[in-house]
Amino acid sequence: MSDDHTSQAWGIYGGPLKDYVQAPNISRLSEEGCTLSNVFCTNSICTPSRASILTGRYSHQNGVYTLTEALEPDSMNVAKSLRKHGYQTAVIGKWHLKKRPSGFDYYNVLPGQGRYRDPILKDSTNWDKGGKVYEGFSSDVIGDQSVKWLESRDKKKPFVLMMHFKATHEPFGYPDRKKYLYEDVEMPEPANLLDFGQEGSGRSFSGQILEILGNRWVDATKNGSGSYPGLPFDLEGLDSIRARKKIYQKFVKDFLRSGSAVDDNIGKMLNYLDARGLAENTVVIYTADQGYFLGEHGFFDKRMFYEEALRMPFVIRYPKEIRPNSSNGDLILNIDFPALFLDYAQIDDPYFHIGRSFRENLSGNTSENWRKSMYYRYWLHQTNRPAHFGIRDDRYKLIFFYGQHLDMPGAHRQNTVPAWEFYDLQEDPDENKNAYTDPKYSEVISKMKEALIVYRQEVGDSDDRFVEMESILQENGFK
């Protein structure tokens, strides 16, 4: 798993960059396995998504709402269940869940975000001593340490290895060998790159616009911090359109270079499995903890219940069972991942029954009662990206921006006016026009509001403990 390595940057999901991305090992996994097109996170931000992947629970169920909460070591997670049933378990690379990993026979993880150059990794022997410096680029170090653990494991036992990259998280670092990749290429732009505001779209929030990133590069150039690759950078004398286009070109190239180093290390792992005769009997998954805006709507970063941030790219290879070059479009959530892992391991653990195994789906045997919609909630309120929840089915999406901080750590204390958004993903797949006030959708919206209320009840997300939400929910038909 990588951090933020969004589907637009994989080259196998279409989009304007598909013919430019150089990711042969991701393509190899896709060709040898199944590519999933509708895998979604339930809270598009790093720490909560990782907690959901491990626990099989929504943020309000596992207690990890924002970037600040820890996954407590005494919490149940899928590694503990696998370990209990005889699997060797390891996590190497990005952890980002604050406290010591539990349930793993071996861990060697980055403290916090970690760094791209000469990363520090912490294991059980040096956790309280600050960890150990490993020379090299982060993705390469994580790949090498993962192979090293596989070599040292007990070869008589089954294993689960979570190889988690820091890349492609901002500042989008890359090794020197990728410095000139895409150098003379003019990258194609998303159609809505020049969306400069809410007036035309009816969007209810301003968002994390590319100019914020551009100004970070300009500031880093002036202060000589070296915190971003590919500097110096300036926007002097450019109008708004040329400035945004310049920012986009640097941003996307840096992002793809960072992703290319991840791809190299996926190849390193695949080659190792081939060389040791393990490929046939090993389930290999590559995914990201959430999606990411690559200039769509003029945005970068994630968090929002929009397609680019919501969708988790996902490829899986298991030669014994999954047809090569296959695809699946069922609606799957990150809370389903533990159930899938346990299904392959032939373990039935009731704790993880909130999510559902999609093993049969991957073989083309989707049950008739498979979910047709999903619930999403983003808690880390900011004035440009308000807290919200919503529902999505195979065509429509309804979002309620309640805009309250609810005392969440790290949230902006200035609340925003509650607002609704609605999108017809068939007619408007890029979510360019908020259709909430369009009368032709009034009946659909009414039904989706009812479904949203039911969904919130089913997953137990009531907001009863938040006094400030009572009147907001009542005024908007939830009470």
Residues 38 and 149 in one domain: yes
- The confidence band for 249, taking pLDDT boundaries of 50, 70 and 90, is very high
Residues 288 and 428 in one domain: no
Residues 309 and 162 in one domain: yes
User: How far is Cα 166 from Cα 310, in angstroms, rounded to an integer?
Assistant: 19
Residues 20 and 160 in one domain: yes
Q: Is 88 a residue whose pLDDT tops 90?
A: yes
Q: Tell me the Ramachandran region of residue 387: left when phi exceeds 0, alpha when psi lies from -120 to 50, beta otherwise.
A: beta
Whole-number pLDDT of residue 479: 75
Q: Is 227 a residue whose pLDDT tops 80?
A: yes
Q: Is 261 a residue whose pLDDT tops 90?
A: yes
User: The domain containing residue 461 runs over which residues?
Assistant: 381-475
Residues 162 and 301 in one domain: yes
- pLDDT above 70 coverage of the chain, percent: 100
Residues 332 and 426 in one domain: no
pLDDT digits (tens, 9 = 90+) for 135-165: 999 999 999 999 999 999 999 999 999 999 9
Whole-number pLDDT of residue 199: 85
Residues 31 and 125 in one domain: yes
**Boundary-marking domain end, from 316, 350, 371:** 371
Report the predicted TM-score, pTM, of the whole model to 2 decimal places.
0.97
Token pair in block for residue 285: 């998954």
| 407-410 contacts, C-beta under 8 A, 24 or more apart | 408/65, 408/66, 408/379, 408/380, 408/381, 409/66, 409/68, 409/69, 410/66, 410/67, 410/68, 410/380
Number of domains in the chain: 2
- The confidence band for 291, taking pLDDT boundaries of 50, 70 and 90, is very high
User: How far is Cα 212 from Cα 230, in angstroms, rounded to an integer?
Assistant: 17
Whole-number pLDDT of residue 197: 87
Average pLDDT value over all residues in the chain: 97
Whole-number pLDDT of residue 198: 87
Residues 295 and 330 in one domain: yes
- Tell me if 444 sits within 8 A of 396, measured CB to CB: yes
- The confidence band for 117, taking pLDDT boundaries of 50, 70 and 90, is very high
Closest C-alpha among 333, 379, 383 to residue 358: 333
The kind and range of the H/E element at 121 are strand 120-123
- The confidence band for 368, taking pLDDT boundaries of 50, 70 and 90, is very high
pLDDT digits (tens, 9 = 90+) for 420-463: 999 999 999 999 999 999 999 999 999 999 999 999 999 999 99
Instruction: State the average pLDDT over residues 211-234.
Output: 96
- The confidence band for 323, taking pLDDT boundaries of 50, 70 and 90, is very high
Any idea what DSSP says for residue 209? Answer: B
Residues 159 and 73 in one domain: yes
Residues 402 and 343 in one domain: no
Q: Is there a domain that residue 134 lies in?
A: yes
Instruction: State the average pLDDT over residues 377-393.
Output: 98
Q: Is there a domain that residue 199 lies in?
A: no
- CA angle, 110 then 116 then 122, to 5°: 20
Whole-number pLDDT of residue 203: 96
Instruction: State the average pLDDT over residues 77-92.
Output: 98
User: How far is Cα 86 from Cα 97, in angstroms, rounded to an integer?
Assistant: 25
Token pair in block for residue 101: 């990993």
**Boundary-marking domain end, from 334, 349, 371:** 371
Instruction: State the average pLDDT over residues 78-97.
Output: 98
Q: Is there a domain that residue 1 lies in?
A: no
Whole-number pLDDT of residue 102: 97
- pLDDT above 90 coverage of the chain, percent: 99
Q: Is 355 a residue whose pLDDT tops 90?
A: yes
CATH of the domain at 397: 3.30.1120.10
Q: Is there a domain that residue 204 lies in?
A: no
Q: Is there a domain that residue 205 lies in?
A: no
CATH of the domain at 11: 3.40.720.10
**Boundary-marking domain end, from 371, 398, 417:** 371
Q: Is there a domain that residue 215 lies in?
A: no
Q: Is there a domain that residue 54 lies in?
A: yes
Residues 359 and 390 in one domain: no
User: How far is Cα 433 from Cα 447, in angstroms, rounded to an integer?
Assistant: 20
The kind and range of the H/E element at 467 are helix 467-475
Q: Which residues contact 474 (CB under 8 A, 6 or more apart)?
A: none
Q: Is 172 a residue whose pLDDT tops 90?
A: yes
User: How far is Cα 440 from Cα 52, in angstroms, rounded to an integer?
Assistant: 37
Residues 311 and 437 in one domain: no
Q: Is there a domain that residue 221 lies in?
A: no
pLDDT digits (tens, 9 = 90+) for 173-207: 999 999 999 999 999 999 999 999 888 899 999 99
